[in-house]
Structure 1
Amino acid sequence: MAGPQTHDHPLFARFWKLAAPGAMSGRDRTELLAGLRGEVVEVGAGTGVNFAHYPPEVTRVVAVEPEPHLRVEAEKHAARAAIPVEVVDGTAEELPVADGAFDGAVLSLVLCSVTDQATALAELQRVLRPGGELRFYEHVIAHRERPAALQRWLDSSGIWPHLGAGCHVARDTLGAIERSGFALGEHRRFMSGLGPFALPHIAGVATRR
C-alpha cells in the first residue's frame, strides 16, 4: 500500500542537497522568477534554493515537497528567505491547496520525476487563477535521434529513474505543457550540464487561459 515512504529517498536527498545549488545558476533562478508577484506555489521545491531569488513583489510562497529529507532542508531555506515561505508535504499530482489560489506557479527540474505529467499540469491549472503564470525550467528529450534513443533507453532500462528518484530524461515536457491547455509564452531551449552529461533543457513561461 502506498504511503508517505513512497517519496522517501534518503540517498538521493543527500546527493541533491549537494548538487541542487549547481543544477541551475543563480542568474537562471533569478530570470525564472523575475516578474512574479502575489501568491506563488512552487511544486517540487527540493532544498529550497529558489527561495532567495524570489522578487519582493511576491507576497507569499507555498512550497510543496514530497521528499521528507529535502523538506527539512527547504524549511531551513524558508526561515532565511526575505519573503514568507510555507513548506508543505504534498505531490504535484495532488496539491494540498485550494482552487484558484495562486497568481503564479514554479516548476524547476520537477516534471521529469512526477508520476503523471498530465495530472500534475491539470493540478496547476486548478490552483492558478485565470491569467496566472507558470514558470518552468526542465530537462527534456533531445531533438536529434541518437541522443534521444539513448535517453529513451536510460528511462526504459530503469537505470536513470532508479538513480534519480524517479527522474526521466526522455520526456516531451514542452509538448505536455501545451497539451494541458496552457498558453505557451516566451521560452528557450538550451543545453546544460557537464560535457558529455549535458542535457537539452527548456525554460520559459506559460499562462493559464
Structure 2
Amino acid sequence: MRHVHHPVFARLYPRINRALEHGGIGEHRQALLAGLTGDVLEIGAGTGGTFAYYPSTVGHVLAVEPEPRLRALATAAAEDAPVPITVVGGVGEELPATSESQDAVVCAMVLCSVPDPETALAEAFRVLRPGGQLRYLEHVRAETPGFVRAQRLLDATIWPRLAGGCHLGRDTVAAVERAGFHTEDLDRFLFPPSRTPSSFYARGSALRSA
C-alpha cells in the first residue's frame, strides 16, 4: 500500500478544516452528499470532515486516506458518524475496492491534490456500478484569464508545497467528463465569496455509464 506523508500540512489541516466549517463549507458538504444511498467510497477523507453530513440512507462508507496522521483523525471521527464508516489506507490512483462494487464515489477537495487525477478518476469509474454517481467538491480553474495566470503561478511555485499537494488551477470538470462520466448537476461558486485564486470551486454530480 502506498503512503503519502505531509507531516507539516497534516498538523495544520485540522485548523484549516475548522476554519472552513466556520466559513460555511458544511452547507456545501451537505449538498454534496444529499440523496446518496447504498455503498459509498470516499477518496481522500482527510480528517473526516464530511462524515457528519452523510445521510442515513447510506449503508456503508469506505473512506480512503493515505496520510497516516489524517487517517488516525478520520478513524476517530468515524466513531461519531451517523452511518457506518470504515477508514483504510490507500491512494486515489489505486483504490482498495473491487470493480463495480460501489453505488457512489465521493471526492471532497482531493482531486486538486492527488498526483494523478486522471488515474484517480479512472479508478472511481472502475469501482462504481453502472449508473453509479461520482460526487465532487473541488478547487477548480478560474473563469477569468487573470486569475488563471495567478493560479498557474501559484501551482508552479509555493501553493502545492504549502497545501499538501493542492493545485488551484486544475480543470476538474473537464477531467471528469474525459473520464467517461456524464454530468448530471454542476454548481460553480466562490468560497469564500471574495474573488481570490483559491476561491473558485465546483460541486458536481456525474453518472458512470454502463
Return the TM-score normalized by structure 1: 0.94
Give 1:15's match in structure 2, choosing from 3, 12, 24: 12
Return the offset for 1:196: 5.6
3-state secondary structure, aligned to 1:152? helix
Query: How do 1:1-209 residues align onto structure 2 when only pairs under 5 Å count?
Result: 4=3, 7-23=4-20, 25-157=25-157, 159-193=158-192, 195=194, 197=196, 198-209=198-209
Measured against aligned partners, the alpha-carbon deviations of 1:58-108 in whole angstroms (never above 9, x if no partner) come to 010000000100001000110111211000000000001111110011001
Q: Partners of 2:164 and 2:104 in 1: how far apart?
A: 26
3-state secondary structure, aligned to 1:17? helix
Q: Partners of 2:181 and 2:19 in 1: how far apart?
A: 29
Return the offset for 1:123: 0.1
Two-structure CA RMSD over aligned residues (Å)? 1.5
Q: Which has the higher helix share?
A: 1
Q: Partners of 1:187 and 1:135 in 2: how far apart?
A: 10
Specify every segment of 5 or more residues in structure 1 that has no aligned partner in the other structure, as ranges: none
Q: Partners of 2:52 and 2:70 in 1: how far apart?
A: 16
8 Å CA contact 2:92, 2:120 repeated in 1: yes
8 Å CA contact 2:100, 2:127 repeated in 1: yes
**Paired residue type of 1:84:** P
Identical residues among aligned pairs (%): 46
Q: Partners of 1:102 and 1:187 in 2: how far apart?
A: 22
Measured against aligned partners, the alpha-carbon deviations of 1:118-150 in whole angstroms (never above 9, x if no partner) come to 100000000000000111100111121111101
Size of the aligned set, in residue pairs, is 205
**Paired residue type of 1:122:** A
8 Å CA contact 2:104, 2:133 repeated in 1: yes
Return the TM-score normalized by structure 2: 0.93
Q: Partners of 1:120 and 1:193 in 2: how far apart?
A: 27
